Structure 1
Amino acid sequence: MADPTTLALPDNASLFTRLKVALQCLEVLKDDPGNPTCGQLINICLDLNVYALLVQRLQGSEEGRRMLSERPSLQGDDLDLSALDLLPEGTLGHEFARYFRDNKISPFKTTLELKNDIDYIGKRYRETHDVLHLLTGYSTDVVGEMELQAYALGNLGIQSAKLILAFGTLGRLKERQPGVGLSAYLRRLKAAYQRGRASKLFLDVWYEHHWETPVAALSSRLCAPAVKMN
């Protein structure tokens, strides 16, 4: 297995090099799915063009340029969950803190150096994952995680989401997992994808300015309504 501490993507890497590093990251993630280095690195390997387009979009507005300049962070070391927990129930800050407590997980961290705006957008995509769970209402179980990947694919065209969805669905077919049937599972993924396409782009939102905003209000502003599934 590749050593995640030595994996890196050279500047101006070719498609071949990006695919090679992505496969090495996949090898690591099979045994260590929460590895922060490989998690972000595989996103950058597969979604370099997507992130480059998002950087161009942000550079087109004053608020976007300020985000790229100041680089706000939802990384663990930059969050005070105790302070957020004191905000009123229903606000983004309070529910964000409760999300980590209830799921017994910690906020995203990465060891990757941010060499440019594309690296920052790759980090931003990874660290907004937990906020997006709150805004979309998708759960943190296996099906909910796949719905969130489908939403990200529809919303941003994230290529790594395709890979995750393919492997997740293949695993479901092989293991015949209990719970949601295959037909219902596929319908939920399709609905999440279409919802993502119909929603405002989520990656250029300065969530740090919305800790006191009710989750319901922010969700209504950013996300298309969820389709009720039988």
Structure 2
Amino acid sequence: MNAQTAATPASNPRVERFFKLIDRIAELRGRNVPTIVNLTTLRSLPAGTFGRAWADFLDQHGLSPLTTGSRRKQLHDGIHILTGYGSDSIGEAEVQAFLLGTKFSTTNLLIGLGLLRLLYQQLPQNQTPKFSQMPWERLKQAYQRGQRSRLEPDTWQPEQLWQLPLAQVQALFGLEAQPSPN
């Protein structure tokens, strides 16, 4: 789940610890970078641009940009913008499945498995079989969409694309069609 959801990291000790761990690992690997996403700058861009869509997404969900750690962590919300996946548990799992499709990463696999566990726990206890209610088809579609995309999550530079129309940026990465939830 996105660490910046209504339950802020400060109010959710697990989320806070998770992000501190990610930042510590990035620091040990020499991958910490200066802040990339400046919300004031993104809000100043014209409506319909990729950067403005990023700011609008954060504002609509009451989120703040990720401003510490690695590039990949700080740019996480941009994947939501490009793909159209939500910031709820299922949307976060779709983002991880998508990222696994673009490039296999143990980190994305572990985060994805953790999100699957969370999704499973959120299903009603009195319905059986619970396992069959998981959003498997949506996750499969997200993974396949990632495989078909031209996004390289470790090297893309959205800061050079913020002023472009969102549709143009999506087309650049082969992500024109938004997913439709089942």
TM-score, normalising length: structure 1: 0.60
State the structure with more CA Rg. 1
* 8 Å Cα contact 1:91/1:215 also seen in 2: yes
Q: CA deviation at 1:88?
A: 1.3
Q: How many residues align?
A: 162
- What percentage of aligned pairs have identical amino acids? 28
Q: CA deviation at 1:175?
A: 3.9
Instruction: Select the residue among 130, 137, 152 that pairs with 1:187.
Output: 137
Q: Does 1:208 align with 2:155?
A: no
More contact order relative to length (CA 8 Å, sep ≥ 6): 2
d(CA) in 2 for partners of 1:159, 1:90: 34
The structure in which a higher percent of residues are helix is: 1
Structure 1 residues 101 and 172, CA gap change in structure 2 (3 angstroms): closer
Instruction: Select the residue among 25, 33, 39 that pairs with 2:15.
Output: 33
* 8 Å Cα contact 2:85/2:179 also seen in 1: no
| Cα RMSD after superposing both structures | 3.0
| Range 97-106 or range 131-140, more displaced | 97-106
Kindly report which structure 2 residues correspond to 1:71-82, keeping only aligned pairs within 5 A, or say none: 73-75=35-37, 79=38, 81-82=39-40
Structure 1 residues 229 and 184, CA gap change in structure 2 (3 angstroms): farther
CA deviations 1:44-72 (Å, max 9, x no partner) are 89xx7xxxxxx9xxxxxxxxxxxxxxx67
Instruction: Select the residue among 57, 63, 88 that pairs with 2:46.
Output: 88
Structure 1 residues 43 and 170, CA gap change in structure 2 (3 angstroms): farther
CA deviations 1:142-199 (Å, max 9, x no partner) are 1000000111111121212211222222333344259xx9456011111111111111
Ranges in structure 1 where 5+ consecutive residues have no aligned partner = 1-29, 49-54, 56-70, 113-122
* 8 Å Cα contact 1:195/1:226 also seen in 2: no
d(CA) in 2 for partners of 1:204, 1:107: 19
Structure 1 residues 34 and 223, CA gap change in structure 2 (3 angstroms): farther
Q: CA deviation at 1:133?
A: 0.5
* Aligned position for 1:169: 116
Q: CA deviation at 1:229?
A: 4.6
* Aligned position for 2:6: none
CA deviations 1:90-142 (Å, max 9, x no partner) are 101211222221111211132x6xxxxxxxxxx01111101111001001111
Q: CA deviation at 1:42?
A: 5.3
* Aligned position for 2:174: 223
Q: Does 1:130 align with 2:64?
A: no
Structure 1 residues 96 and 171, CA gap change in structure 2 (3 angstroms): closer
d(CA) in 2 for partners of 1:228, 1:102: 20
d(CA) in 2 for partners of 1:171, 1:138: 17
d(CA) in 2 for partners of 1:104, 1:39: 22
Q: Does 1:198 align with 2:160?
A: no
* 8 Å Cα contact 1:72/1:206 also seen in 2: no
* 3-state secondary structure, aligned to 1:140: coil
d(CA) in 2 for partners of 1:182, 1:220: 34
* Aligned position for 1:100: 58
